[in-house]
């Protein structure tokens, strides 16, 4: 509620939460990420203690923060498109998708808006 205080529409609340996570108090890091201690909530530990993580940490935290202010959000995990490694005889691309292409992101529902995707965290 503090992050979105005074903001009246859901879109701007989403941007405020996104900006909070990008504000510099959190560090994006993919190595030696601390795991939640036993009996400590994963998101709580990221937001208030370690403040260091990668796409899974950031997207999970953003999903929880959005839901806390009644904005419908879903956490998604999948893969980016990978790297082009070749082309077929018809000119189509052949992609190689590896574990390095694993990614997690947030999907937010805005009533009346179709296919709005923002993936910058």
Q: For 27-36, 44-53, 62-71, which range has the lowest pLDDT when averaged over its residues?
A: 27-36
Q: Could you report how far apart the first and last alpha carbons of the chain are, in Å?
A: 20
What pLDDT is stored for residue 118 in this prediction?
Answer: 59
Phi, psi of 29 (to 5 degrees): -150, 140
pLDDT range class, residue 33, cuts 50, 70, 90 = confident
In 10 A of CB 46, how many CB atoms?
23
Write out pLDDT tens, residues 48-63: 999 999 999 999 999 9
* 34 DSSP 8-state letter: P
The candidate with the shortest Cα–Cα distance to 65, out of 29, 33, 108, is 108
pLDDT at position 116 over 70? no
What's the DSSP call for residue 118?
A: -
What is the value of pTM for the model shown?
0.83
């Amino acid at each position: 509620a503090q992050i979105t205080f005074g903001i009246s529409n859901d879109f701007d609340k989403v941007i405020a939460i996104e900006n909070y996570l990008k504000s510099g108090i959190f560090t994006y890091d993919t190595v030696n990420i601390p795991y939640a201690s036993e009996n400590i909530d994963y998101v709580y530990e990221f937001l208030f203690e370690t403040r260091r993580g990668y796409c899974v940490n950031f997207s999970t935290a953003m999903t929880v923060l959005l839901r806390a202010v009644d904005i419908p959000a879903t956490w998604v995990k999948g893969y980016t498109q990978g790297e082009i490694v070749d082309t077929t005889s018809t000119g189509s691309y052949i992609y190689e998708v590896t574990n390095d292409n694993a990614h997690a992101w947030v999907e937010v529902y805005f009533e009346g808006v179709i296919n709005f995707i923002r993936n910058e965290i």
